[in-house]
Amino acid sequence: MEKLVDLISADVARAFEAAGYDGRYGRVTVSNRPDLCQFQCNGAMPAAKEYHKAPLAIAADVAAQLAGNGRYAMAEAVKPGFLNLKLSDEALAAHLTAMRAADRFGVEPDPAPRTIVLDYGGPNVAKPLHVGHLRSAIIGESVKRIDRFFGNRVIGDIHLGDWGLQMGLIIAELRERQPDLPYFDESFEGPYPEAAPFTIAELEEIYPTASAKSKTDEAFAAKAHDATYQLQNGRPGYRALWKQILAVSVADLKKNYALLDVDFDVWYGESDAQPYIPPMLEDLQARGLTRESEGALVMDVQLPEDTKEVPPCILVKSDGAALYATTDLATLVQRERDFHPDEVLYVVDKRQSLHFEQVFRAARKAGIVRPETALKFLGFGTMNGKDGKPFKTREGGVMRLERLIAEVTEFVAKKIAENATVAADDRGDTAHRVALAALKYGDLSNLATKDYVFDLDRFSAFEGNTGPYILYTIVRIKSILARYGGDVAAAALRPASGDAERDLMLALTRLPDNLALAYRDSAPNVICAYIYELAGCANKFYHETKILAEEDAERRAGYIALIDLTRDVLETCIDLLGFSAPEKM
């Protein structure tokens, strides 16, 4: 379905032409003076230069052409040469009726849908999932849903950090604690036990302990490095132990992401890219794309047009270990082979931007991705505490995601219990939904690149620019719909009879423009700003209108149709943000 502004632009372009001017001046935008008009066209100003005529006269000529057009209640030329437009209420209602009947509100899918690999989440196995990974999960999930809404094939890949030194640290520490386990016995011929020799809680204690120890204890650090090396070179006991670590950790991660309503299509890890590294390096060397630098193998990625220095991409360290960049390059080899993507989008902390710049350049230079494949980096800022420093728990440690969700849920559960509108049985589910809305909207309503302050009070308020406020608006509408008695789906929209109703209708017509913008820029914050405005219009309409008490049945049905469409749009939008509304709250 054509967007309303495009439809109006086409009318105005035709009017320019009918008046003897070039139609390209007919571009219309939503008015920046809603007190004066709904839409405006500023084309008469540049046209004045071409036609050596006063802009006001041109605007008046165009307005005259629109005078007989039933779509407009007003087409007016005003100084110095604006064309101010108001739709007729009939045309507005007709447009919304078409939107309501269309699939996906008539939002057109991308005419050239792509295959997109979305790299998000990025947790590290055996290390607790912390708030640093929260943003990647929240933003990535929303971007995935938006991209899919526009008809793209999106493969969400969690890209587990499952291959680094943390594995060696855990193995070395376990070896000290339980030296008799068969995993450490080189003469053991298997099979290894099925059950893991640790729980997730133990695993999460082992890693920080080992990591701290390696910083003061050189001998231990050497053992951890050696264990990493042996694991990566296939020592059977270590491979078996690593698989146990992975299994226990992944089970826990799955639980956590399910709690967040975040879902990945593939659970590949850095380890899955390892087999691609040796042939890739061989190929790069054979083609003379690498050089040696102080014992390391590097690839230059500086470009002649650069104004800043971009350091070479280090592929192999002097001790023979492959690096983060090497793994990311090999992962691109794997992704090209498995998915042949048109785009690879990384949702990662913006402090890693140089790393991705290097990787992207190296991948292009080496032809690891096709020239037409887009490589994009969506770098996000830090979630800070009220002290302006990266968010910590009350005790000062890194906040565990599970704990954070539990805390937010507990906080909103109290409010829900106070309101006493929700049956006791449903309170758990309701609190969980409201908590996710608070957490996700609190994050997504900011520009991703910006740091933001995590403020539980503010995020979970039922009033203001918050997720719970949006849910509250939806719930309020649902409760009216439930009490309507008639057939909601059959209720027909009617021309607006008041300002609040008209404003709500106009806000609804702006859905396609906002979704298109959110899609173009991978910017969920655009959707947040839009639904905040829409919810504001809905609440104003609700306060000023006796919806169910309206005596005229057709008009009452019109109100019902309007709020039902509003609910549908709001629910579609929050689904794109990654949360959902309860029935009551």
Which positions touch ligand ARG (CB under 6 A)? 119, 122, 124, 159, 161, 328, 346, 348
Report, in Å, the least distance between residue 380 CB and ligand ARG. 12
Nearer to ligand ARG, 51 or 324 (CB): 324
Scanning 52-160, the segments in alpha helix (DSSP H) are: 55-66, 89-101, 131-149
CA 23 to CA 6: how far, in whole Å? Answer: 13
Cβ atoms of residues 581 and 474 within 8 Å? yes
Residue pair 434/460 in contact by the 8 Å Cβ criterion: yes
- Closer residue to ligand ARG (CB): 277 or 477: 277
What order do you get walking across the sheet with 82-87 strand by strand?
A: 28-30, 39-41, 82-87, 72-78
Q: 3-class SS at 75? A: strand
Residue 356 Cβ vs ligand ARG, minimum distance, rounded to whole Å: 8
Nearer to ligand ARG, 28 or 315 (CB): 315
- The least distance separating ligand ARG from the CB of residue 158, rounded to whole angstroms, comes to 9
Question: Minimum Å distance from CB 202 to ligand ARG?
Answer: 22
Least Cβ distance, residue 159 to ligand ARG (angstroms)? 5
Q: Which is nearer to ligand ARG, 149 or 346 (CB)?
A: 346
Sequence-separated (6 or more) residues with CB below 8 Å from residue 32: 40
How is residue 510 annotated by DSSP? Answer: T
We find the least distance from the C-beta atom of residue 538 to ligand ARG, in angstroms, to be 39
Q: Which residue is nearest to ligand ARG (CB)?
A: 122
Q: How far is the CB of 161 from ligand ARG (least distance, A)?
A: 3
Report residue 503: phi and psi, to 5°: -60, -40
Pick the closer one to ligand ARG by CB: 159 or 556.
Answer: 159
Q: Minimum Å distance from CB 133 to ligand ARG?
A: 7
State the distance between the two ends of the chain, measured CA to CA, in whole angstroms: 35
Closest CA to 293 of 319, 277, 314: 314
Residue 110 token pair: 């991308």
Say if strands 82-87 and 72-78 run parallel, antiparallel, or are unpaired: antiparallel
10 Å Cβ neighbour count for 486? 12
Owner of token pair 């042949």? 340
> Between 161 and 578, whose beta carbon lies closer to ligand ARG?
161
* Minimum separation from the CB atom of position 377 to ligand ARG (A): 10
- Of 115 and 352, nearer to ligand ARG (C-beta) is 352
Other Cβ atoms less than 10 A from the Cβ of 129: the count is 24
Residue 278 neighbours by CB under 8 Å, 6+ apart:
none
Asked whether 313 and 129 are in contact (CB, 8 A), the reply is: no
Closest to ligand ARG by CB, 73 vs 323, is 323
In terms of CB distance, is 207 or 346 closer to ligand ARG?
Answer: 346
For residues 313 and 323, the answer to whether their CB atoms sit within 8 Å is no
Least Cβ distance, residue 361 to ligand ARG (angstroms)? 15
Cα distances (angstroms) measured from residue 82 to each of 16, 35, 37, 157: 13, 15, 11, 50
Which lies closer to ligand ARG via its Cβ, residue 159 or residue 502? Answer: 159
